[in-house]
Amino acid sequence: MATLLVTLTAAPDQDSARGRYVAGVQPLLKAAGGRPVKRLRVIDAIVGSAGTSMALVMDFDSADAIAAVFASAAYQALVDDRDMAFSNIEILITEDAE
């Protein structure tokens, strides 16, 4: 199993781009077997500057399934909207630490 971790901060005045991106990426993630675990909103930073305002956690059967979504032509068509919609975004493939 692998987990997708997305941290982000929405760009101001980019609601349209954000709406298009979310509407486009959600079906791609679900079609790849993504299972939502949690959506989180940052309310305070104990250490650091909290350059992130939200996070999304989704489980997948494999890291390859996650990578395939972001390598797909369908996802690449969303990149311009993604880049406008968020002032900061990190898309990470993670696994359980032992």
Contacts 24+ apart (CB under 8 A), 61-67: 61/1, 61/2, 61/33, 62/1, 62/2, 63/2, 63/93, 63/95, 65/2, 65/32, 65/33, 65/34, 66/2, 66/4, 66/32, 66/34, 66/93, 67/93
Q: How, if at all, do strands 35-41 and 2-10 pair?
A: unpaired
Confidence of residue 98 (pLDDT cuts 50, 70, 90): confident
Q: What's this model's pTM, rounded to 2 decimal places?
A: 0.92
For domain 2-94, say whether CATH 3.30.70.100 is its number: yes
Strands (DSSP E) found in 1-98: 2-10, 35-41, 54-60, 86-94
**pLDDT tens digits for range 65-90:** 999 999 999 999 999 999 999 999 99
**pLDDT tens digits for range 1-58:** 999 999 999 999 999 999 999 999 999 999 999 999 999 999 988 888 767 899 999 9
Domain ranges of the chain: 2-94
pLDDT of residue 83: 98
Section 59-70 average pLDDT: 99
Spatial distance between the Cα atoms of 56 and 6, rounded to a whole number of angstroms:
5
